[in-house]
Structure 1
Amino acid sequence: MSCCAAGTEGTLEMERAAHALPSSEELRLSSRDLGDGLYQTELSVPGVHCGACIATIEKSLKSRPDVERARVNLSTKRVSIVWKAKVGQIVTDPVDIVRTVFASGYEAHLFAAATDGDEALRNKLMLAVAVAGFAASNIMLLSVSVWSGADAATRDMFHWLSAAIAAPAIIYAGRFFFVSAWNGLRHGRVNMDVPISLAVILAYSMSLWETVHHGEQAWFDASVTLLFLLLIGRTLDHVMRDRARSAITGLARLSPRGAMVVMADGGREYRPLADIAIGDRLSVGAGERVPVDSIVVSGVSDSDFSIVNGESAAVRVQKGDALQAGILNLTGGLTLEASALARDSFLAEIVRLMEAAEGGKAGYRRIADRAAEIYAPAVHLLAFGAFLFWGLYGGDWKHALLVAVAVLIITCPCALGLAVPVVQVVAAGRLFKAGIMVKDGSAMERLAEIDCAAFDKTGTLTLGRPRFINRSGVDPGHMQIAASLGSHSRHPLSEALYRSVGSVAVTFDDVREIPGSGIEAKTSAGIYRLGSRSFAGNGTTAPEGRMSSRSEVVLSLDYAVLETFQFEDALRPGVEQALADFALKKIPVTILSGDRPEVVAKLATRLCVRDWKANLKPADKAGFCVEAQRSGHRLLMVGDGINDAPALSAAHVSMAPATAADIGRQAADFVFMHDSLEAVPLAIRASRKAGRLIRENFAIAIIYNGLAVPLALSGIATPLIAAIAMSTSSIIVVLNALRLNSLGSHLPVPKGAPTPNVAPRTARLAS
């Protein structure tokens, strides 16, 4: 539903007085210096919810000579403004730019990722829905008695009771629409809340007039029911948008709040992240994340680089190695030297990539929002024309006003507004039963349109859990020793080795972990070592012909190799069936991975996927998705790691498993809870059926308006009949959406499907 149809843009208007404009100094300090006299400022605009809002703000800002460009991000409710420090001899005051946003009718303040205001607004909406629903049901019960032929005294009493119930409900539940309508009119805009507010107020006022003069008809039920149905659509829309913005908040939680700075005299001081300067020495202990992009000055440790390349295998880092912000230090303490500010670090770059991608997603609603801009004045002209016609030519101004109110109510875009969100909710519920979570309702619409797909490797096509594969050829005694040593380490391969045994039969007293190398235990029999081949064998190299696509851990006694344990990542269940389904639908598939080429090539060959890319960074994956979009393709991205988050946001639509990192789940449009990858083609089936139902609902809404509007204009439909007709159209739309429940959760395995990636356009995507 359009935001303007639901009173979004002016919801926070009542609280505007509580917010002061930021000072020039605050704005300058928070702005990024882009060089050549240009600065970039980020502002929160909580009242932005649709294409009309975006156009209004961008147009007002671009009209200023000191604004180079302005872009509103709908998902994060953020406006990015690039402005000139000077225009001629006049120095720009950034406060004037913020005042321009206020003058266009929208609150603005320095950007913050917190969403407490959104949560409070959602709670207010849900309470308003409850109030309107309670009032509407009770007024309907009273109306039944009137319709059944109650005598005049009973009818008047019921009318007064209805008026008493409706008044507070309309004031409380209708304030979203009334404030938005007033805000729009005050700034010279006519939005969809204006006819809605007029219809509700006129219907109540006329009903009250009829009640005072002992009239037979009253339309209190029509006014409250109208609010109830519109608030349902508004709440659904707000919840969907709120979920779509959660990825940025997840990244903010991932970044540490500060770091321990090592002073020149050896002392230590904890500083907030924003106060860390380039060149500062930082102390990062085991289990802590790297706060900013840094260079290792001293120390050796295993580190989890999954945020960068998506691979679960720990990487040894030592003096001189570069570490990105967000990398998890696993085993040893490190002293780092900051090489970038927090706002220029790796995590900040991922945030910018995601926001840039999210900004492009706003387009799917803009057509409907532009239609809403035309709809509002058209409804006003139609109602006013009917009022003049019946007043001037019919001579009955009371009847003319009733016709005008009926037109306003019967043309309410409730069916049109519910056409999309009700299908999204039903489809989301159906997918939830199959273990698939839908985070953004519009994603189903986009998933139905895909013509190509890209999959991350580790954690997506595979489970991201190393699997011990040569147990049958390993001596059981050596296995027990290795498992005992592995129980003392957090390294993924050591943990996998320990899990494969499940219990420890051999114990060691003197055990120490050497970060980046392995584990050492001193015993009466000698020194046992478990780790890399060079560590365990004291410099021994791998034998000729050893498979480089497998990971290994070596056990040695006094540097003599006793056993080699090999590991391989297990395929995710349902991979072959899912890729066969893509091949059957002639949807080309590409594997995107940060892993080594030989590992990716082996998996691609095993899965019959011809297109694959290795050694990719987060920006490379996002760039692949952007290039696919620019080429006119609608790409589905399936990934799980933090490093996949920009690509998940940049793709036309995205999915992630529940085992994904928090930020990966938040950035994705869909999250599947079960291990099987068959959830991906199942979601496509559901989305395509949902798309058909949405189009059917739009057709129902158009047919309804084509039949109902002439009835209202002719004077046949009273406000009550108009409200019933409007409600009936909404009920039909809901019932049509419920047909999604007939979608089966069973996904048939295609027989004789062609091998994946047979379509020639895949080659164009890979180029």
Structure 2
Amino acid sequence: MSPAFDYSALVETRPDGVRHLDLVIEGITCAACIGDIERGLACLPELEKARLNYTNRRLAAEWRVADFDPMRVISRLAELGYKAHPFEPSREEEIEAAEMRFLLRCLAVAGFAAMNIMLLSVSVWSGNASDITEETRDFFHWISALIALPTAAYAGQPFFRNAFRAIRARSMTMDVPISLGVTLALGMSLYETIHHAHHAYFDSAVMLLFFLLLGRVLDQVMRRKTRAVAGNLLALRGETAVVLGDGGAAREVPLKAVRPGDRVLVLPGDRVSVDGIVLDGSSSVDASLVTGETAHAPVGPGALVYAGAVNLDGALTVQVTAAAEGTLLDEVNRLVETAANARSRYLRLADRAARIYSPIVHVTALATAIGWMLLGAGLHDALITAIAVLIITCPCALALAVPATQVVASGSLFRAGVLLQTGDAIERMAACDTIVFDKTGTLTTPEPRVVNAGEIAPDLLEAACRLALSSRHPLAAALAGQALGRSPFPGAREEAGHGVVAQLGPEPGAIEARLGSPTFCGAEAQATAALAGAPDATVIAVRVGERRAVMLMHQVLRPDAAAVVADLRRRGFRIAILSGDREQPVADAAQALGVDEWRSGLKPGGKIDALAAMAAQGRRVLMVGDGLNDAPALAAAHASISPVTAAHLAQSSADALFLGERLRPVADAVVLARTAHAVMRQNLGIAVVYNLIAVPLAIMGHVTPLIAAAAMSGSSIIVTLNALRARLPGREPEQGSPVSATPTRPFVSTQRPARAAP
């Protein structure tokens, strides 16, 4: 970014006088960079806060002084060796994709070169033991040099750039000993080749680059960044609104043009794009994604509606209280960012090890060279020994210890239906001792189910599912999801506010089929009788000819929820439920699962407060939730998992996603996380033991750079093989149940009186 860029235009001034600037930072390679940047910016006394989110590399800077120049932040970052850009989600995605492509190219170049140089080296090794001539050996060494030098210059760029940046900023990272070891090995190899020596170490340097690049690529694959939060919210809220003029004329305008006090029209089936008060019209809204309340709330004049809610039935005229800014969605987004920034300060296991590793490597290599020279060795021999120390201590095993385990564990979790989204998800989940579940859509199925399916004739149930395929109503959509691949009836049409009707069979003599409210289907008496035993259910009626049936719709617990909760409790986890739903449904769910610790009616901030209280007690919480109202809690918890059916913002805030209707993947995730974390620690232990044995031998001069490279490769292979233990035992995938097998012992969730369904 050019220094002439006007960063002051990007500064946001909040109502409390705080000025805020978001920047995306280039050059961040490990979580230790958090401390370097935040401590480096602390020298600017005007800054009240400078927090770096390692997950998306976003720096949030805040100050109050009116004449503070934001270019001072940019300049200070440049002094520390980091380049800053305005935070733009789309630009960040482009930077990440370009970085990944470059790493893959470097890995491919290093791998191809290492294979070819190794073929030449094998010929030299075997020839040294037999009858190779000096000319032939030099020729092979020169060919190796012609391959290795340009390869290192290209494939080593990720390490050389970061090492140069660290040195210029007077800091120390793991890239410094890597770059130093590779450069010295190449330089010494070139010197040995010029002087017709028996050995050169081009293979060692390039192989070292290959293993380290492999670890970095694996780490990059695992570290998916949270991004496009604003875009997700915009998609949820909508980009436009229908504004009513003074004469009642309706016009569609961009959301940014809507002002508080305007009147907007929200049609049935549309998502509300503003916060406001209903002036005219009556309907019911589905605000479960926003508030967690599963009941479809009736609204009329004077009622509050929030951006993100779905208008189900009638047209509403809403007076705007907040539109493009200041809505409930914006508040949720702010809570998510605050929580994510706090959690991003967590340092991964490998990062913590790397912080003390680099200085020890340098001191050891320097002390080795000085010690040998004091003992009378020449500069050449002292440098050879120091290079052997640098190579044998180069952190290949350390670089692979965590990423290799993560890849194996993530593959095993994928087969179990869990998708990891962050590089440190396994380590955080392994540390958790408490699991907190949201209720709606998490402990329960995402959509309501027919709970009396066994009492309905199969052909009527099938007809209802096929009719539901022709409706946009949310309850009809839930029923259509159980159509099991069947197609809608030809010519089916939806009558707004009533239901769906279709003619079955050829004319004349066609039979009429209907799906909708009991009145629409002529099934009032059957609906009254059915609701007598389940007054809180939602009823949908179906009629085919003169045959009628009513279906009771409930959200039900996931099929294995009770078994999974019991299993987690046996493993020592404390279980709790935090829900935005009403007290009775939450109490019913808690009772059905045997959970004693639960709270209901919580807003997003209330869930964060509850998690903070648990953290104050020393508990580390794994949050499992799916709604927009869960997103801040998912970001604030020590670790988090979300169903793949969750809201976009909830998904982006979670460390992992689980697939399917069963809850078993959550238990699999925490069990495997503990196993994988143990393997990570074992791998780091292997790396430490390897160094305790190999480094003294190298210091004593018993190890040449060639042997050092072989030992380094051997330790990397051992670490990789040990990582294969981070797997779950094989398990056959559990099949979901058809409609007729839907559990019939629901706990009440969608509470509202019977109403016109599709």
Residues 303/675 of structure 1: CA separation in 2 closer, same or farther (3 Å cut): same
Structure 1 residue 180: Cα displacement: 1.3
Q: What is the rounded CA distance, in whole Å, between the counterparts of 2:377 and 2:455 in structure 1?
A: 100
Residues 313 and 492 in structure 1, CA contact (< 8 A), matched pair in contact too: no
8 Å CA contact 1:66–1:92 kept in 2: the answer is yes
2:348 and 2:424 in contact (8 A); partners too? no
CA RMSD of aligned residues (A): 3.8
1:664-703 to structure 2, matched below 5 A, reads: 664-703=650-689
Is 1:292 aligned to 2:270, yes or no?
A: no
Equivalent in the alignment of 1:123: 101
Question: Using a 3 Å threshold, how does the CA distance of structure 1 residues 231 and 482 change in structure 2: closer, same or farther?
Answer: closer
Residue aligned with 1:289, SS: coil
Look up the match of 2:83. Answer: 107
Please give the residue correspondences for 1:174-573 in structure 2 after superposition, counting only pairs within 5 Å. 174-243=156-225, 245=227, 250-251=232-233, 253-264=235-246, 271-310=253-292, 314-331=296-313, 333-365=315-347, 369=351, 371-470=353-452, 489-495=471-477, 512-514=495-497, 518-519=498-499, 530-531=516-517, 546=532, 550-553=536-539, 565-573=551-559
User: What amino acid sits opposite 1:443 in the alignment?
Assistant: A
Partners of 1:270 and 1:354 lie apart in 2 by 30
Choose 300-309 or 492-501, whichever is displaced more: 492-501
Superposition map of 1:76-87 within 5 A: 76-86=56-66
Secondary structure, aligned partner of 2:445: strand
Counterpart in 2 of 1:644? Answer: 630
Q: 1:93 to 1:543 in 2, by over 3 A?
A: farther
Q: What is the alpha-carbon distance in structure 2 between the residues aligned to residue 578 and residue 616 of structure 1?
A: 24
Q: 1:706 Cα shift?
A: 0.9
Secondary structure of 1:571 counterpart: coil
| Aligned partner of residue 83 in structure 2, secondary structure | coil
Q: 1:490 to 1:270 in 2, by over 3 A?
A: closer
- What secondary structure does 2:259 align onto? coil
Q: Is the 8 A contact 2:110 2:209 kept in 1?
A: yes
Q: 2: distance between equivalents of 1:49 and 1:261?
A: 48
Pair 1:739 & 2:719 matched: no
Structure 2 partner of 1:97 = 73
1:59 aligns with one of 34, 39, 61:
39
Task: Look up the SS of the partner of 1:740 in the other structure.
Answer: coil
**Structure 1: distance between partners of 2:585 and 2:260:** 37
- After superposing the two structures, state which structure 1 stretch, 541-550 or 355-364, moved more: 541-550
**2:31 is the alignment partner of 1:45:** no
Matched, 1:33 2:9: no
Secondary structure of 1:338's aligned partner:
strand
Aligned residue number for residue 604 of structure 1:
590
Deviation (angstroms), 1:568: 2.2
- Alpha carbons of 1:376 and 1:587: their partners in 2 closer, same or farther (altered >3 Å)? closer
1:727 paired with 2:713, answer yes
Indicate if the aligned counterparts of 1:244 and 1:669 stay in contact, CA closer than 8 A.
no
Please state whether the residue corresponding to 1:660 is helix, strand or coil: coil
CA shift for structure 1 position 403? 1.4
Code of the residue aligned with 1:612 in structure 2: it is W
Contact kept? 1:292, 1:342, Cα under 8 Å: yes
Deviation per CA, 1:511-565, whole angstroms, max 9, x where unpaired? 6323xxx559999xxxx99549999999xx99999567732237699xxxx9864
Residue in 2 that maps onto 1:634: 620
State TM-score, norm by structure 1.
Answer: 0.83
Q: Answer yes or no: is the 8 Å Cα contact 1:575–1:677 preserved in 2.
A: yes
Contact kept in structure 1, 2:219 and 2:403, CA below 8 Å: yes
Query: C-alpha distance in 1, partners of 2:518/2:158?
Result: 64
Residues in 1 aligned to 2:31 and 2:342: alpha-carbon distance in whole angstroms: 12
For 1:706 and 1:532, the matched residues in 2 are separated by 78
| Amino acid across the alignment from 1:55 | G
Stretch deviating more after TM superposition (638-647 or 176-185): 638-647
Match runs of 1:163-182 below 5 Å:
163-182=145-164
Structure 1: gaps spanning 5 or more residues: 1-17, 749-767
SS in 2 for 1:619: helix
Quote how far apart the aligned CAs of 1:221 are: 0.7
**SS of structure 2 residue aligned to 1:48:** coil
Aligned residues: 713
**For 1:503 and 1:381, how far apart are their aligned partners in 2?**
72
Looking at structure 1, the residues matched to 705 and 693 of structure 2 have their Cα atoms a distance apart, in angstroms, of 16
Q: Does structure 2 conserve the Cα–Cα contact (< 8 Å) formed by 1:290 and 1:326?
A: yes
The one-letter code matched in structure 2 to 1:256 is G
Shift of 1:609: 2.2
State the AA in 1 paired with 2:184.
Answer: L
Please list the CA deviations of residues 134-163 of structure 1 after superposition, one character each: whole Å capped at 9, or x if unmatched: 111111111000000132222112111111
Per-residue CA deviations over 1:447-470 (Å, capped at 9, x if unaligned) read 222222122222222213322334
Q: What is the distance in 2 between the residues matched to 1:483 and 1:238?
A: 44
2:744 maps to none
Identical aligned pairs, as a percentage?
42
Is 2:44 the partner of 1:68?
no
What corresponds to 2:110 in structure 1? 132
Q: SS in structure 2 opposite 1:342?
A: coil
TM-score normalised by L of structure 2: 0.84
For the Cα contact (< 8 Å) 1:493–1:553, is it kept in 2? no
Counterpart of 1:624 in structure 2: which amino acid?
Answer: A
**Worse-matched range after superposition: 629-638 or 383-392:** 383-392
Equivalent residue number for residue 602 of structure 2: 616
| Displacement of 1:294 | 2.9
Match of 1:576 in 2: 562
Counterparts of 1:203 and 1:273, CA distance in 2: 61
Cα distance change of structure 1 residues 22 and 550 upon mapping to structure 2, 3 Å threshold: farther
The answer to whether the 8 Å contact 1:312/1:492 transfers is no
- Alignment check: 8 A CA contact 1:548 1:598 kept: no
- Taking a change above 3 Å as real, the CA distance of residues 378 and 226 of structure 1, as seen in their structure-2 partners, is same
- Aligned-pair distance for 1:119? 1.2
Partners of 1:129 and 1:47 lie apart in 2 by 19
Deviates more, 1:244-253 or 1:612-621: 244-253
Give me the whole-angstrom Cα distance separating, in 1, the residues matched to 2:197 and 2:577.
Answer: 72
Structure 2 residue matching 1:365: 3-state secondary structure: coil
Equivalents in 2 of 1:730, 1:152: separation in Å? Answer: 33
369-378 vs 569-578, which moves further: 369-378
Matches of 2:349 and 2:490, distance apart in 1: 69
Spell out, residue by residue over 1:558-592, the C-alpha distance to the aligned partner (whole angstroms, 9 max, x if none): xxxx9864222233122222112122123222223
Counterparts of 2:393 and 2:466, CA distance in 1: 74
Q: Distance in 1 between matches of 2:502 and 2:733?
A: 55
Q: Deviations over 1:645-681 (max 9, x none)?
A: 2222222222223333333333322222233222222
Name stretches of at least 5 consecutive residues in structure 2 with no aligned partner.
504-513, 735-758
Q: Is structure 2 residue 645 aligned with structure 1 residue 659?
A: yes
Distance 2:469 2:608 in 1: 38
Matches of 1:589 and 1:597, distance apart in 2? 18
Deviation at 1:342, TM superposition (A): 2.8
